[in-house]
Amino acid sequence: MRAVKSVLVMAGDLRRKNPDLIEDAVLIRAMQDANVPKFLKDDLPLFGAIVQDLFPTVEVTQSENVVLTNQIKKSCVSMEL
């Protein structure tokens, strides 16, 4: 039950930050944010398939952290990577 509660708390936070998103998309993104970091690379396609089976009509894009991405790019350039 703790895992369900953590997903619901994350979904509530995402909903407050993105009130224009549909509820299914908010829930999917919360499930991804809560679970994907814990999975092995080989398990990701299975998780994606399960989510697609549960929500066949909803297409959710990956959330992007623009600030983090920009900082990583700057660091790579400064380190000549």
In the chain, the amino acid numbered 8 is: L
DSSP class of residue 55? S
26/8 Cα distance (integer angstroms): 10
Token reading at 15: 């909903």
Which pLDDT does position 77 carry in this prediction? 94
> How many domains does the chain fold into?
1
Which pLDDT does position 2 carry in this prediction? 80
The vertex-68 CA angle with 62 and 69, nearest 5°, equals 65
Domain of residue 44, residue span = 2-78
CA distances from 33 to 15, 40, 55, 73 (A): 13, 14, 16, 22
* pLDDT per residue rounded down to tens, the chain (81 residues): 788 898 899 999 989 988 888 899 899 989 988 888 899 999 999 998 999 999 999 887 666 677 788 899 999 999 998
Which pLDDT does position 74 carry in this prediction? 94
78/81 Cα distance (integer angstroms): 8
